[in-house]
Every structure is written in C-alpha cells, then in structure tokens.
C-alpha cells in the first residue's frame, strides 16, 4: 500500500474556533502547487481521507482536483491533531486488507491532516521513535505492507512550492 500523508496548507487566524480556520490565499496556492506536483508525478489515489477541520478539508479538495480524484473526499475524526496514531494505523490496516478482495497491494491512500498526528503516523509506519513534523502544504509518501507487518519505506516528499525530494 502507498500512503501519502499531507499536511494542510497555511491558514488564517480569523475564525472563532480553531476547527473553522480556512486556508489563506497563499495556502490555497501552496495546496494547488503541491497537488499539481503530485499529478505531474502520476500520483493516482484510490482513497482520500481528510480530518474534519476546515483547513484540511479545503486542502484535500484542492489536491483531489489536481490529481483528478473523482470520488468523494472521506472525512474522519481519527485525523484530528490530537488523535492517536494507533487508531490511524488500525484504519490503514483495515483499508489495506479489504475482506474478499484481491489485488489491493498497490492501493494508494492519502490522509490530509495536521501535526502532531501526521509525524506520529509517519514514525509508526516507518517504525522509528519519531519523525520530524511535516511542514504546511507538504506531502510525504510511505510504502508499507498491507498488513503493516514490516517497517514502511519513505519514498519522497513534495512541498508547497511543488518541489519533490526523493528519500
């Protein structure tokens, strides 16, 4: 399974509650550039799941449009900033092994969320004690076994300027 972890882009501070903060114009541009960089590299997605916070949903929708993802963006409470990485791993494990289906070993799943949950998930997937925080509008690709039984391999990262770095 290929897991792409995406941190939301830049937000404003003008909302009454944290969960309602929206992307700034710069944030929208960064998300678009990141999405286009993913599309240029032929990144297709089988499933796109976002945190319910406005800034993550907006980032997910921009990325979805850029990579021509036509299904509905799923929303999960498991991706809020203070979520437990173990619960996200449980979700990924369930998604990697659909009952009665074959050929999912190349499934591509993107999670759009926040810090600190994204770096915690990256560390857990790669079986490292910690992973540096993802920057805003940054995507990180990790190749993992569908059952998450072995350490995942960091493949590349893309930033909000559309630059890709192989890892």
Q: What is the model's pLDDT at position 54?
A: 96
Q: What is the model's pLDDT at position 167?
A: 67
Q: What is the model's pLDDT at position 105?
A: 59
**CB-facing half-sphere around the CA of 115: CA atoms within 13 A:** 13
**pTM exceeds 0.75:** yes
Q: What is the model's pLDDT at position 162?
A: 76
Q: What is the model's pLDDT at position 65?
A: 97
Q: What is the model's pLDDT at position 164?
A: 79
Q: Are 100 and 139 in contact (CB under 8 A)?
A: no
CA angle, 140 as apex, 86 and 142 as ends, to 5°? 60
Q: What is the model's pLDDT at position 97?
A: 60
Q: What is the number of H-type helices and E-type strands within the chain?
A: 4, 7
Query: Was domain 2-166 assigned CATH 3.40.50.1240?
Result: yes
Helices 117-126 and 85-96 cross at an angle (nearest 10°) of: 60
Residues of the chain with pLDDT under 50: 99-100
Instruction: Report the candidate in 158, 154, 165, 160 with the shortest Cα–Cα distance to residue 2.
Output: 154
pLDDT in tens, 138-153: 999 999 987 888 899 9
What is the distance between the alpha carbons of residues 75 and 80, in angstroms, rounded to a whole number? 10
Instruction: Report the candidate in 143, 121, 141, 142 with the shortest Cα–Cα distance to residue 130.
Output: 121
Q: What is the model's pLDDT at position 14?
A: 82
């Amino acid at each position: 399974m290929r897991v792409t972890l995406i941190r939301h882009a830049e937000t404003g501070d003008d909302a009454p509650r944290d969960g309602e903060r929206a992307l700034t114009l710069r944030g929208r541009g960064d998300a678009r550039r990141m999405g286009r960089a993913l599309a240029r590299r032929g990144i297709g997605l089988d499933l796109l799941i976002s945190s319910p916070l406005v800034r993550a949903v907006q980032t997910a929708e921009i990325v979805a449009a850029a990579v021509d993802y036509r299904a509905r963006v799923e929303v999960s409470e498991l991706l809020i900033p203070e979520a437990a990485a173990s619960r996200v791993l449980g979700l990924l494990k369930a998604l990697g092994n659909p009952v009665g289906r074959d050929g999912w070993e190349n499934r591509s799943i993107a999670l759009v969320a926040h810090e600190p949950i994204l770096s915690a998930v990256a560390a857990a997937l790669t079986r490292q004690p910690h992973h540096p925080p993802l920057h805003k509008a940054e995507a990180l690709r990790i190749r993992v076994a569908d059952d998450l039984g072995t350490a995942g391999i960091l493949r590349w990262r893309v930033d909000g300027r559309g630059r890709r770095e192989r890892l």
